[in-house]
């Protein structure tokens, strides 16, 4: 099968050179908009492109408000703070994610709790979440979710939409509501992905996006906080050093962060936004071709969950077992077709190995079997 895969990828991408997992493309007005910021001298954190990029992103996702940040990790860090996460709190997330999800939790001096994922979505399992809460938590007299043994507050829950495939949002919304836990979606990988017609990142109190160079569209580096009217002002305040508006004085009324997206990057983002639908069509066409290639073989292609429209940011297959996975990785990478295993589980990393966790059978099963395939945009 690896020979057929290599041939398919070479034909599809039309090259005998090295084929990366994901490379950005700039087919639109990127150069024009970036040059415009240089000509205007507004390259930094003030400028018309930042405002436009935020408005574009709010209207595209259907989020009431969107606040741009320097990267997706910073967006998550501030989203957690806005949800009231404090030192010593617990924040539930999945072990199968990129390290940024957990790092943002750790930046708040809070502790991640790892709960299993579903096999079909690769995202946080609402069933596993509920089971863990029933076994380990209570609502106190004020309705705050606390652990039974050590009375820690379970403040927030951060599901991640893996490779762009939406997690089981209806059930995650209902479990987190019942347990009074703030839902924050890490939608870094799922710009352009919808769950029952609603854009990912808009189901909880906050959601975050990333525009890193390897995401479906890029600003070089960048991120976005999706939220409602109520938290927008504070999101902007915290990301701009908590400076109070004043014509000339420097007054900062709390600990703030220099997390605002520069205008230079936002200009790139505005141009990429104009191409986003084309990118998604190209991704979905490639996914459709991969699906055909793998049907009836011993590689299971990861498809969008029921009632969802995925952006298919990164295509993936599930191998029979770890040995099969390693064979595929060796054969393809040796031939200059880049493939990668899924991330090591977060609870296997030194920083997070002693964190609380539930049963992680599905995550462990997937960790040994999932391989990502070349997924760059090809316009035919």
Ligand X SMILES: *Cc1c(COP(=O)(O)O)cnc(C)c1O
Binding site for ligand X (CB under 6 A): 71-73, 97-98, 100-101, 160, 186, 188-189, 210, 212, 223
The Cα–Cα gap between 119 and 239 comes to 36
The least CB distance from residue 186 to ligand X, in Å, is 5
Q: Which is nearer to ligand X, 22 or 152 (CB)?
A: 22
The Cα–Cα gap between 345 and 362 comes to 11
What SS3 state is found at 309? strand
The least CB distance from residue 206 to ligand X, in Å, is 14
Q: What would you report as the CA-atom Rg of the chain, rounded to the nearest whole angstrom? A: 21
The least CB distance from residue 59 to ligand X, in Å, is 22
The Cα–Cα gap between 373 and 319 comes to 12
Q: Which is nearer to ligand X, 212 or 263 (CB)?
A: 212
Token reading at 23 = 């490379």
Q: What is the DSSP letter of 44?
A: S
The least CB distance from residue 98 to ligand X, in Å, is 4
Q: List Cβ neighbours of 299 (8 Å cut-off, separation of 6 or more).
A: 1, 5, 317, 318, 319, 328
The least CB distance from residue 101 to ligand X, in Å, is 5
Q: Which is nearer to ligand X, 145 or 311 (CB)?
A: 311
Give the torsion sign (CA, 233, 236, 242, 245). Answer: negative
The Cα–Cα gap between 53 and 30 comes to 13
The least CB distance from residue 12 to ligand X, in Å, is 24
The Cα–Cα gap between 69 and 294 comes to 39
User: Which residue has the CB atom at the shortest distance from ligand X?
Assistant: 72
Identify whether the C-beta of residue 353 lies closer than 8 Å to the C-beta of residue 120. Answer: no
DSSP E strand boundaries for 178-293? 182-186, 194-195, 198-199, 206-210, 223-227
Q: Which is nearer to ligand X, 8 or 45 (CB)?
A: 45
The least CB distance from residue 180 to ligand X, in Å, is 25
Q: Which of 166, 114, 72, 132 is nearest to 343 (CA)?
A: 114
The least CB distance from residue 225 to ligand X, in Å, is 12
Q: Which is nearer to ligand X, 19 or 100 (CB)?
A: 100
The least CB distance from residue 96 to ligand X, in Å, is 10
Q: What is the DSSP letter of 304?
A: P
Q: Which is nearer to ligand X, 100 or 175 (CB)?
A: 100
The Cα–Cα gap between 354 and 120 comes to 28
Q: Which is nearer to ligand X, 36 or 185 (CB)?
A: 185
Identify whether the C-beta of residue 166 lies closer than 8 Å to the C-beta of residue 121. Answer: yes
What SS3 state is found at 81? helix
Q: Which is nearer to ligand X, 209 or 299 (CB)?
A: 209
Q: Which is nearer to ligand X, 8 or 73 (CB)?
A: 73
Q: List Cβ neighbours of 220 (8 Å cut-off, separation of 6 or more).
A: 211, 213, 264, 265, 268
């Amino acid at each position: 099968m690896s020979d057929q895969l290599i041939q398919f990828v070479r034909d599809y991408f039309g090259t005998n050179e090295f084929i990366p997992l994901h490379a950005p493309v700039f087919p639109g007005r990127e150069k024009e908009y970036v040059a415009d910021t240089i000509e205007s001298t507004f390259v930094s954190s003030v400028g018309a492109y930042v405002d436009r990029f935020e408005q574009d992103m709010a209207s595209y996702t259907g989020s009431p408000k969107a606040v741009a940040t320097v990267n997706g990790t910073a967006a998550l860090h501030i989203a957690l703070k806005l949800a009231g996460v404090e030192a010593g709190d617990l924040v539930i997330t999945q072990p199968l994610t990129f390290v940024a999800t957990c790092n943002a939790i750790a930046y708040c001096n809070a502790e991640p709790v790892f709960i299993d994922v579903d096999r079909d979505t690769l995202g946080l399992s609402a069933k596993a979440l509920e089971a863990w809460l029933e076994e380990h938590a209570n609502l106190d007299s004020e309705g705050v979710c606390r652990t039974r043994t050590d009375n820690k507050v379970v403040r927030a829950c951060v599901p991640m939409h893996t490779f762009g495939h939406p997690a089981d949002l209806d059930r995650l919304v209902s479990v987190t509501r019942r347990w009074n836990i703030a839902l924050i979606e890490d939608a870094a990988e799922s710009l352009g992905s919808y769950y029952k017609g609603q854009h990912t990142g808009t189901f909880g109190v906050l959601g975050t996006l990333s525009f890193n160079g390897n995401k479906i569209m890029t600003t070089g580096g960048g991120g976005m906080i999706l939220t409602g009217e109520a938290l927008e002002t504070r999101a902007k305040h915290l990301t701009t050093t908590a400076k109070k508006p004043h014509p000339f004085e420097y007054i900062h009324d709390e600990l703030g962060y220099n997390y605002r997206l520069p205008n230079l990057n936002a200009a790139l983002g505005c141009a990429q936004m104009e191409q986003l639908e084309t990118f998604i069509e190209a991704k979905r066409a490639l996914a459709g071709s991969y699906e055909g290639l793998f049907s009836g073989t011993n590689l299971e292609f990861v498809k969008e969950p029921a009632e969802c429209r995925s952006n298919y940011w990164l295509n993936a297959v599930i191998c029979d077992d770890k040995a099969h996975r390693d064979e595929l990785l060796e054969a393809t990478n040796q031939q200059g077709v880049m493939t990668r295993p899924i991330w090591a589980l977060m609870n296997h990393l030194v920083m997070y190995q002693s964190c609380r966790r539930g049963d992680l059978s599905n995550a462990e099963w997937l960790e040994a079997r999932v391989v990502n395939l070349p997924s760059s945009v090809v316009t035919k």
